[in-house]
Amino acid sequence: MTPFAAIGDPSAIAIFFFCLFILVALVISYWAARRTKTTEQFYAAGHQISGFQNGMALAGDYMSAASFLGIAGLVALYGFDGLIYSIGFLVGWPIVLFLIAEPLRNLGKYTFADVVAYRLKQTPVRMAAAVGTLSVVIFYLIAQMVGAGVLITLMFDIDYALAVAIVGTVMLVLILFGGMIATTWVQIVKATLLLGGALALALWVLSYFSWNPLELFDSAAADNGEAVLAPGDQVVTGSWDAVSLGLALMFGTAGLPHILMRFYTVPDAKAARSSVNWATFFIGGFYLLTFVLGFGAMALVGQGTITGIDEGGNMAAPLLAQEVGGEPFLGFIAAVAFATILAVVAGLALSGAAALSHDLWVNVVRHGDAPEREQLRVAKIATVIMGATAIVLGIALEGQNVAYMVGLAFAIAASANVPSLLMAIFWRRFTTWGAVASILVGAVSALVLIYLSPTIQEDVLGNDSSFFPLKNPALISMPLAFVTGIVVSLLTRDAAAEEKFYEAERRIVIGAPPQAVPAEAAVAHRRPTG
Amino acid sequence: MTTYESATGRRPEEPDRHAEDEREALDRLSARRLRVALVLTMAMLVVYFTFILLIAFDKSLLGEMITDGLSLGILLGVIVVLATWVLTWIYVAWANRRYEPAARELRERAR
């Protein structure tokens, strides 16, 4: 048997599934376009998404190709060490639920900056928050786009630049016409496909091991040594590296703009709560499946074959699909991987566009007073800017090592976004300048420390040593952002913010006051004056 | 609002007392939610960082085999996943059963 000839030599089935998913995405955006007339519908799906649906969409927004292909590959090559990511990517969700979801839903409108700026001076806080949002979104987006290019090139044997352009264009069409409604439904379809595909693959693997995962782990350990079931030094080299990575993964989730934005799509705090409950259930289940997929690929495909196709191990899950289910199943899993990337980049680009248009244009340039029509137009222009940026950077960085950018995005999210968000919600004495300083110090220190770290100095630039010992900066940059926010707040005074604390607290419990004028009426009302 | 204003003519202290009552109840409810949230957050941090600190500082312990194919590390990994489920479930159950009715009452009183 000549194994795995099908990778890079796409079967008709793979191309069929691939085209089918693009078609489904386009149909969804056509359907959603008629329901996307206001900014509220464009950014927040008109608050009409149910808790269960949003839980699925959150899972679809969060489980990136890095989780599906990357973690399965890491586990296949390094065993237990890959599971550190599986678990780290999950444990942030309870934190989101306990501390952030409900206040966010009731205080904000479209972006997490709405919440940070709620009691504070709009202009400086929004500008700083946009820095935090856009740096997270752009690094995450680059990692996804480059990953998409490589993946599609490997699986469908088409040109890298063309692959990036296809992903970027489908994403743009999806958001421009269908906004958050289309994005949500693509994420729901993707989550269903990904969970279903991973479950089918895992069950298929387990059928080889008399349905007993322990027998699978044992078989993997028999071929590759018992060390694969224990922590090694492949993913985290030093002790403090593990702690720093753990911190970034846990708190990074709570600061990802595209995840936070999803909480505005549900009608109230109760639905926000239930959506995290569902998301945690689906994501946890998925990461449990990665245990089986990773060790399954190790035992059934073999490490040599996996690294032979792609050194990073990214093809472990598709190879496993081919091993157990042959070409049709490979074709299905390849299309699922594509769907995975599309749903994540759509969520990312939409949250980046919201930062540009809602935070910077509407609230900084226009001081919060822009007619509805203009808001929607600017939102769409910002979407085109985000989409074009994603395509251009994706193509420009072909062949670059961008794997660290996901870690960097999580570190910036944990350092720039989370401390300011938590202090804005829970600390009466938090001030405008405390927020600005916390966000900027968090973002800049994460960026500088990662530049000085072994990740960039040794792995990317090829130097012999680095200035900063940790691969992930969160252990330093996140506490630094907290301390900066506290010290600057204590040194400054923001009487208006303190006065507004009760109002914010009341709104978190009771909810936003019902809107006096419906959106359409507001447009009609404004038109004669404007 | 209009009812408070019309009431001010006869009993000036009444509206303030009403607002103060609401404020007190709301502060109490917020504090209660924060307490529950913080306890559960601490529980999550303890579970997860026990796991991470063992990875960081006692790799050989996690390599102990409990039975064929199952190391302590993998078992703890599964336990962390189950703990996230249990803790989120506890919070949602508490919030829906205790917090939500109290919040609804405040919401209705505010109208």
Cα-based angle A40, A45, A50 (whole degrees, multiple of 5) = 130
b (16+ CB within 10 A) / e for B9-35 = eeeeeebeeeeeeeeeebeebbeebbe
Task: Tell me if A294 sits within 8 A of A76, measured CB to CB.
Answer: yes
Name B71's bridge partners.
Answer: B65
Tokens of B9: 């003519």
A385-404 confidence digits (pLDDT tens): 999 999 999 999 887 777 77
* Cβ neighbours around A223 below 10 Å, total: 11
Q: Are A226 and B65 inside 8 Å of each other by CB? A: yes
Nearest-by-Cβ selection for A95 from B44, B60, B68: B44
Spatial separation of the C-alpha atoms in residues A6 and A452, rounded to whole Å: 41
Task: Tell me if A139 sits within 8 A of A415, measured CB to CB.
Answer: no
User: Mean pLDDT: which of A12-26, A230-244, A417-431, A442-456 is highest?
Assistant: A417-431
CA distance A231 to chain B (A): 6
Q: Does A276 touch chain B if contact means CB atoms closer than 8 Å? A: yes
Residue A273 has pLDDT above 90, yes or no: yes
User: What letter would DSSP give residue A100?
Assistant: I
Task: Tell me if A246 sits within 8 A of B44, measured CB to CB.
Answer: no
Spatial separation of the C-alpha atoms in residues B17 and A107, rounded to whole Å: 26
CA distance A99 to chain B (A): 6
Q: Are A93 and B84 inside 8 Å of each other by CB? A: yes
Spatial separation of the C-alpha atoms in residues A165 and A185, rounded to whole Å: 22
Q: Are B85 and A280 inside 8 Å of each other by CB? A: yes
Report the pLDDT averaged over residues A292-300: 94
At A296 the pLDDT is 95
CA distance B50 to chain A (A): 10
Distance of CA A155 to the CA centre of its chain: 23
Q: Are B74 and A97 inside 8 Å of each other by CB? A: no
Q: Are A277 and B87 inside 8 Å of each other by CB? A: no
What does the mean pLDDT of chain A come to? 89
A76: enclosing H helix or E strand:
helix A72-78
A49-74 confidence digits (pLDDT tens): 999 999 999 999 999 877 788 889 88
At A161 the pLDDT is 93
Q: Are B92 and A291 inside 8 Å of each other by CB? A: no
| Domain assignments of chain B as residue spans, ordered by start | 2-110
* Minimum mean pLDDT range among A81-90, A287-296, A415-424, B9-18: B9-18
CA distance B104 to chain A (A): 7
* Minimum mean pLDDT range among A77-81, A279-283, A349-353, A520-524: A520-524
Quote helix, strand, coil % in chain B, to nearest 5: 85, 5, 10
Q: Are A239 and B88 inside 8 Å of each other by CB? A: no
CA distance B71 to chain A (A): 6
Q: Which residue of A has its CA nearest to B53?
A: A243
SS3 A168: helix
Q: Are B96 and A273 inside 8 Å of each other by CB? A: yes
Q: Superfamily assignment of A50-511 in CATH?
A: Sodium/glucose cotransporter (1.20.1730.10)
Identify the band that residue A339 occupies on the pLDDT scale cut at 50, 70 and 90: confident
Report the pLDDT averaged over residues A254-274: 94
Nearest-by-Cβ selection for B51 from A87, A502, A505: A87
Q: Which residue of B has its CA nearest to A292?
A: B74
Nearest-by-Cβ selection for B77 from A83, A213, A216: A83
Q: Which residues of A touch B52 (CB under 8 A)?
A: 84, 242-243, 246
Q: Which residue of B has its CA nearest to A231?
A: B59
Nearest-by-Cβ selection for B23 from A226, A502, A508: A502
Candidates B55, B62, B94, B100, partner chain A, best to mutate (most A CBs within 10 A) = B55
Tokens of A133: 């949002």
CA distance A284 to chain B (A): 6
Q: Which residue of B has its CA nearest to A426?
A: B34
Query: Which positions of chain B have pLDDT values less than 50?
Result: 1-10
Q: Enumerate residues 227 to 256 of chain A having a beta carbon within 8 A of any beta carbon in chain B.
A: 227, 229-232, 236, 239-243, 246, 250
Q: Does A87 touch chain B if contact means CB atoms closer than 8 Å? A: yes
Residue A135 CA: distances (Å) to CA of A243, A354, A423, A453: 23, 14, 21, 18
SS3 A111: coil
Nearest-by-Cβ selection for A94 from B59, B77, B84: B84
User: Mean pLDDT: which of A10-19, A153-162, A207-216 is highest?
Assistant: A207-216
At A517 the pLDDT is 45
Percent of chain A surpassing pLDDT 70:
95
Q: Which residue has the higher pLDDT, A527 or A109?
A: A109
Q: Which residues of B touch A80 (CB under 8 A)?
A: 62, 71, 73-74, 77
Nearest-by-Cβ selection for A93 from B29, B88, B110: B88
Residue A8 has pLDDT above 70, yes or no: no
Q: Are B95 and A273 inside 8 Å of each other by CB? A: yes
Q: Enumerate residues 287 to 316 of chain A having a beta carbon within 8 A of any beta carbon in chain B.
A: 287-288, 291
Q: Which residue of A has its CA nearest to B106?
A: A510
Q: Which residues of B touch A234 (CB under 8 A)?
A: none
Q: Are A87 and B80 inside 8 Å of each other by CB? A: yes
Long-range pairs for A299-303: beta carbons < 8 A, 24 or more residues apart: A299/A216, A299/A219, A299/A220, A299/A223, A300/A205, A300/A208, A300/A324, A301/A76, A302/A223, A303/A76, A303/A77, A303/A224
CA distance A163 to chain B (A): 35
Closest by Cα among A522, A449, A451, A452 to A480: A449
Residue A128 CA: distances (Å) to CA of A196, A284, A371: 40, 33, 24
Nearest-by-Cβ selection for B84 from A90, A219, A243: A90
SS3 B66: strand
Task: Tell me if A220 sits within 8 A of A295, measured CB to CB.
Answer: yes
Spatial separation of the C-alpha atoms in residues A358 and A266, rounded to whole Å: 19
CA distance B35 to chain A (A): 10
At A338 the pLDDT is 84
A165-201 confidence digits (pLDDT tens): 999 999 999 999 999 999 999 999 999 999 999 999 9
| Domain assignments of chain A as residue spans, ordered by start | 50-511
Backbone angles phi, psi at B66, to 5 degrees: -85, -45
Residue A294: CB partners within 8 Å, gap ≥ 6?
A: A71, A72, A73, A74, A75, A76, A79, A82, A83, A316
Spatial separation of the C-alpha atoms in residues A131 and A133, rounded to whole Å: 6
Percent of chain A surpassing pLDDT 90:
63
At B15 the pLDDT is 60
Q: Which residues of B touch A93 (CB under 8 A)?
A: 84, 88
At A514 the pLDDT is 67
Q: Which residues of A touch B105 (CB under 8 A)?
A: none
